[in-house]
Structure formats: C-alpha cells, structure tokens
Chains A and B, each alone.
Chain A
Amino acid sequence: MISFQPSPEERELRQLAREFAQSRLRPHARAAERAGRPPEALAQESRELGLGGVALPEGWGGAGLSQVAACLVEEELAWGDPGLAVALGLREAALAFVADLLGEAPAGGPWEGPGVLLWPQVPDDPLAGSGITWTTQLQAAPQGERLSGSIGAAPGAQEAAWFLIPAARGERVVLLRLEGTAPGVERRPLRRPLGLAAAGWAEVALDGVAVGPGAVVWEGTVRDPAWVRARERARLRVAAQLVGTARAALEYATQYAAQRQAFGQPIAQFQGISFMVAEMAMAVEAARNLVWYGAWRLDRGALPAGGAQALLHARGAALEVADRAVQVLGGHGYMADHPVEKWLRDARALGVAVWPETALEVEAASELGLAPGWVAGGAAGPGPVEGGAA
C-alpha cells in the first residue's frame, strides 16, 4: 500500500530506544570513548532491555521481530552515541549472523559471554561480486586444519570471549568459532582509533590456530541464500546506525544554526547555512528510506534485499552530513566541547571499519545484472534485483 508510518508497536520500540539513548547513552559517550569500553552497569542494563537483539530469533535470546523494527531501534541507539551503540550490540550482531545461517534453534556454541564476528576481507578483492578473498587462510595439515592470517583492526576484538571468523575452504566458505584464548590467537589492543573507541578495538593475529570439527559452525557457498541473508542483515544494521549518526549531527547543527548569531542575526538566516542544513535533512531522509526498503524486503524473504545499496548510500550520506555539521559549527565544531567532531569520526569509522565489506559497488552492480564475467567460477553473484518500483 506504500506507507512510511511505523506501526504502533514499532513506534513504542523506537520510543523506548530513544529514551534509552537519551538518558543512558548520551551522558556516557565521551567517558566510554576515553575508556575504550562501555560502563559495565550500562552493558548490563542494555542486555536486560534487549535492545540489541530486536530481530534476533527468540531461540537465540532475541525478540524475534522484523528487521524494520530492528533498524528503527538501531537508528535511535546510534543517535544516542554511535560508539556505545556499536559496542553494546557486538554480541547480538554476531549472533544474528550465525542465526541467519543456522536457523531458529541455536547450535554450535557455546555462545555465552562477549563475542564478535570478524570480517577479514581483502580490501582490493579480485573476487568481489562472486566470492570473497580473505586475509586469513585455512590450511590443511596432518593434525587437522589450521587458521592463519591477521585482521588489522576489528571492533570488539579486545574483549571478546569468542570469535566468529569466515574462511575459504576451496570453493566453499566456512564460518568458524574460535575461543579468544585459543593457542595461536594473539590480540593487540588498539588505543585511540579514529572513532567508535568505546567498541574496544584490537588487531588480531592468528598463527596456525587449530580448527577442530567443533569449530566449524557452518559451511556453504557464497550463493547460499542463508549466507546472502546474513550479509544483507549485517549491512542493514550498520546502515541504520549510520542514519542515526547522521541524524544526531543534523539535529545538533540545526539547533546551533538557529541560535548562533553572526552579522547581527542567527546564522540560519544565511542561505549558505540554511540550504546546507536542508540538504543534510534530505540526505538523512533518503538514507533512512533506503534502509527501510531493504529491511522490508529482507523481512519478506526477498534476496538480495538492497542492503548493499542501502549501506553504500548511508556511508556517503553519514559522512557528508557529519562533515557539514562540523562546518555549521565552525571553529566550535572542531572542538571536543561539542559532539559533532566525535560524530564525524564515528561516521567515518562506521562506514569503513564496522562491517568492512569492500567493493560493495561491484556487489550492487552484480545485483543489477552487470557482474564481472572474468572471475573464476564465472557468472554473477546473487542476481538482479527487480526494477525500482518494487
């Protein structure tokens, strides 16, 4: 019927998330950034409220709701503070990925404690669009397979008790679960990353880590609908977080421009400023609509769901909006007194390093029927999307 009005239930969830974001995330944002982690009491409360696992199946400890509802919530949490939103949701994001692969009933595991999904994709990926080249390699050995390689920077890697790591096994892809303390796993905490410091970043080095049969959580191909679905959901999650970050910056800049005086009037009276703010608002609205569209498609089982396009768009929009917000505040925007400089750094970090799929343009082009034919294994990835009018 085409409507952009959330249902009453979706509104209530969004309202809850907004209140939580306003009253719990905003006040702790800078401290958590300095500490490199969220306060334990806050992490506890977040778990109890269940805001991180809105779309996670109930069997996995979530609320089993739609991805649309989850995106509404993710936007609010990131609006509160992007770093805390990412930090508090790491475990559920990892569980959501494996839940899409394994189904409603949890298997594999154990899944208690903090965990994180690592995504060791090579930035310049010759297989993009029909496969993925990993920075980690699974090697057969007499005593069993071993995993080696490294991930330069991963959010959540510092505190994780377990990791989920994809790896290639010939033409297939496997999802492995490793203990954080397994022999061969080395973590070097990264202090002061550009943004999202509250998420506890680390460099992860894997040196011949033993991969026993119990460690293989899932095996399949990149064309498996389950794999496609898991990636789409992960993209939409980050895209929603980017929209929330952008909206925070937009609202702050709007208020500032309405109050700040220069040349005898509020700076919003100057079209150079008001037009910039108008364009920021349009960018946020457009980005959000693409996220909702993708989430709606995912909820109805349509694959690909448009997650690549939504994430590509949100990455650009959030960066632009946050950048413009700093610009509106001028010199003050550059200072840590105001949150916009933090949101700009967070927007860049979110776009680049959380769910760091590269060459999404190639994925999207494949979805539009323009796949790179020269890749070994031939034809395209997921296949064309329907023409624009749904």
Chain B
Amino acid sequence: MIDFELTETQRAVRDFLHWVAEHEIRPVALQADEEGDVPLELLRRLKELGVTLDTLPGGGASGGDGEAPEHQRNRLAVLAAEELAWGDAAVAISLPGAGLGGPPVQLMGTPEQKERFLGIFRDPEPRWGAYALTEPEAGSDVAAIRTTCRKEGDHWVLNGTKLFITNGARASWNVVFATIDPALGRAGHRVFVVERGTPGFTVGRIMEKMGLRASETAELIFDECRVPAENLLGGEERYRQGEGFRTAMQTFDGTRPMVAAMAVGIGRAAYEYTRDRLREELTLSRPIPRYGVIAERLSWMERELHAARLLVWQAASMADQRIPNSKEASMAKAYAGTVATRVCAAAVELLGAVGLRHDRWVEKWFRDIKVFDIFEGTGQVQRLVVARRLFEPYGLRV
C-alpha cells in the first residue's frame, strides 16, 4: 500500500546520522572546504561510530539469491545519504569504505576476490576503495575509454589515464576499467582491481574543484602497469558479451538514488539555512514589498525538494521490493540534480550579497551542488535513460 511512514529503524538511522552530521561533521565543514581536506581524526571517529556510505550492489529486481522478498537496504541508504550530505557532501563521499568500488567487486568478484578486497575494511584504520572509469576523453561516452590492457604471461599490462577519481589517491585499490581493443567498444572492456603500489601505477594531480573541495579527486596514470591476473575481476570466463560495460552501468543503478538523495540533502541544507535566516532577520510586523517573493520562493524550494525526495524514495523502495526501477532511478537523479541546483542558487539570491560570504554557508552549497548534475551520469544521460524507457513500448530505441 502507498505509505510514507518511516519505520522505527529508518527513523533511528536517520536521526542518528542527523546527529552525526550536526555535531561531528558541520563543525569542521567550512574549514575542510577551505583547506581542501577532511581531517583524518574525523574520518576515524566516523568509522568508529559505524558511519558508512557503502554503496549497494545493483538496483532493481536483481538481488542476491535466497533473500527475503523485500528488504530495507536501499531505503535506509537514501535516508542515510540525505543526512550525511546535509552535514557535508565532501565528507560524505570521503567516508572510509569501498565506495563506488564496492558494487563491481560484489557483482563480479570471485569469492576469493571479494574476501581479498573487501576484507580490508574490517581493519580499524580507515581505508578506501575507488572506482576509475572516467578518462580525459571519455566521460558520458563510457564505451570510448582508451586505457588499454594486454595479457602478458600471468599479468595484464595497463596503459592510460583516469581522471576525476574520488579517493583515487588514498584508496588501497582502484577498480579500473580498461579495454583489450578500443575498436571493440563495450565488448572489449575488462575490469581490474589495481592495488596501491602496483608497479607502473602512479597518482598524477589532485584536482582543484569548484565544490566538494574537501574531497580528494585524483588523476591516475597507468604506464606499463603490471597487474596480476588474479586481479582481473571475476576471472577470464566472466567476459562474455559486454559484461564489463554492464557492470559499470549496474553499479550506477544502485547508486543513482543515493546520489540523488545527497543532492536533496544539500538542497535542504541551503533551504533550511535561508528560511531560518529570513525568519530571524525579517520581523514581518509591517508589510514588506519583498514578502510575496520570499513566500513564493521559499515555498517553491521546499516543495521541489520534497518532490525530489519522494522520487528518490520511490526509486529506493522499488529496488527493495525487487521491482525494476531504472526509469525511476534516473528520474530521481535528473530531478534532484536540476532542482537542488536551482534551490541553492535561489538561496544565495534570497540572502543577497551576504550570500557570497564563505561563513554564510550558502555559497559553499552552491559550489557543492553543481557536480551532482554531472557525476555518476549527467542529467542529460539520465534524461536519455528515462526517454528510452518511455519509448521502448513503441519499439523505438532513442
């Protein structure tokens, strides 16, 4: 039945993470943004508290075998993501854990690989995994990656560059997508786990960004990088038709609602801050010409964020209920990305010139939110996915 009630568990998770966001994360957020780094003590503390944003394998109807017909993982994940991003999105994506590297290992790894790569996160010290797909010349066009791999004895040799890799430098390992032959397109993709210290693998630049400045965004360079054959995810038998590409895309199926939830969290932070400042600063005891505009703009912000949140919940609940949710997941990301960006822009405008001050937060959220319409599938790619679903019944592939 149609229901928007949070269960006790959901409420508890949300409330706990909100507390963490408010009391542990917010106090260091502005400084972390200025310095371009999240303090390691904070990350240790968060790991101690059990705070994690570990992404979930695949979305939609494909679940593990022998699981209960319906579970809560995705709904909990989006509730968690919204609160942590409300705290600070850069901190949220810097949390120790497998990160986006998790789903490929879960989806494709052999049991031995899963233990070898995911087992390290049991270590009390913070560790990271990362996901390296994007290249300087290949963003939305995933099929066009140019990092090559060739088999040499019991190793594979990788050559190429990866760009915009979150936690790429600090990661204990990166999931790296390479191709045996660019001309083969998706069919040529192979997926490797490249561990830190592998000969031929170096970290290039750490990029300076508009927002999410505290998070590490790295350039990775593979120059005759020799990766052991045991690090080919899934082993050679796995790579039938487009398996590598499918995995890349399936990763995003699970994460799209979470990323959308983070966008909602940032938007909500901007909206609440603006609403609270305006409430304080405007006595409203006499008519003010701008009141109608304020009322219209703030109510618009709240309902658009809520609409975005409900789309996120819809995608997440369908994933938990094993109902195919590819269209809804893309809707959630596209809508949240667009709407949250406009909300943050409106927040700066409503506060006027002081909205540009670093200590007034909204300028940071304006910088942070923009990438949410870009990474993990741009808003345009999301619209394309939605359009494909809409026109499929008519036999059209748009």
User: A residues within 8 Å of B by Cβ?
Assistant: 1-7, 10, 68, 129, 254-255, 257-259, 266, 268-269, 271, 274-275, 277-279, 281-282, 285-287, 289-290, 292-293, 296-297, 306, 308-310, 312-313, 359, 361-362, 364-365, 368-374, 387-390
Contacts and interface: CB of A to CB of B under 8 A. Distances in A.
Contacts of A6: 1-2
Interface stretch (B4-12, B147-155, B356-364): B4-12
4 shortest A-B CB distances, which residue pairs? A258-B394, A364-B299, A365-B295, A289-B310
A374 B287 contact: yes
B268 interface: yes
A4 B75 CA distance: 12
22 contacts: A1-B3, A2-B10, A6-B1, A254-B394, A274-B391, A274-B398, A275-B380, A275-B384, A278-B383, A282-B311, A282-B331, A290-B303, A293-B310, A309-B299, A310-B303, A313-B303, A313-B307, A361-B296, A364-B295, A368-B298, A370-B284, A373-B285
A2 B5 contact: yes
Contacts of A289: 307, 310-311, 314
Nearest to B296: A361
A269 B303 CA distance: 33
Nearest to B3: A3
A268 B5 CA distance: 39
B311 A285 contact: yes
Contact of B331 (A277, A281, A296): A281
Interface string B295-308: 11011101111111
B319 to A, nearest CB: 12
Contact of B2 (A68, A257, A268, A277): A68
A290 B303 CA distance: 8
B159 interface: no
Residue among A2, A271, A279 with the highest chain B CB neighbour number at 10 A: A2
Contact of A296 (B4, B268, B278): B4
B309 A389 contact: yes
Contacts of A371: 284
A373 B284 contact: yes
A7 B387 CA distance: 28
Contacts of A254: 390-391, 394
Main secondary structure on chain A at its contact with chain B? Answer: helix
Contacts of B286: 374
Residue among B4, B82, B291, B316 with the highest chain A CB neighbour number at 10 A: B4
B335 interface: yes
Contact of A388 (B10, B268, B300): B268
B75 A2 contact: yes
Given A277-B390, A372-B295, 13 more contacts: A2-B10, A3-B317, A6-B2, A271-B387, A278-B334, A282-B335, A292-B4, A364-B303, A370-B295, A371-B284, A374-B287, A389-B79, A389-B309
B258 to A, nearest CB: 15
A372 B291 CA distance: 8
Nearest to B272: A387
B61 interface: no
B365 interface: no
Contacts of A296: 2-4
Contacts of B68: none
A353 to B, nearest CB: 20
B226 interface: no
Interface residues of B, number: 63
Contacts of B14: 389
A257 to B, nearest CB: 7
Contacts of B146: none
A4 B6 contact: no
Contacts of A312: 299-300, 303
Contacts of A281: 327, 331, 386, 390
Given A364-B295, A364-B302, A1 B5 contact: yes
A3 B285 CA distance: 43
A308 B292 CA distance: 16
B396 interface: yes
Interface in B327-370: 327-328, 331, 334-335
A289 B308 CA distance: 9
A5 to B, nearest CB: 7
Interface in B1-42: 1-7, 10, 14
A259 B3 CA distance: 38
A274 B278 contact: no
B6 A2 contact: yes
B294 interface: yes
B318 interface: yes
Contacts of B305: 388
Interface in B265-287: 268, 272, 275, 278-279, 283-287
B303 A370 contact: no
Contacts of B278: 370
Contacts of B2: 3-7, 10, 68, 292, 296
Interface string B375-398: 000001001101100110011101
Given A2-B313, A285-B311, A370-B279, A309 B306 contact: yes
B321 interface: yes
Contact of A2 (B279, B317, B387): B317
A372 B275 contact: no
Interface string B64-86: 00000000000100010010000
Contacts of A274: 383-384, 387, 390-391, 398
A361 B303 CA distance: 11
Contacts of B1: 3, 5-7, 10
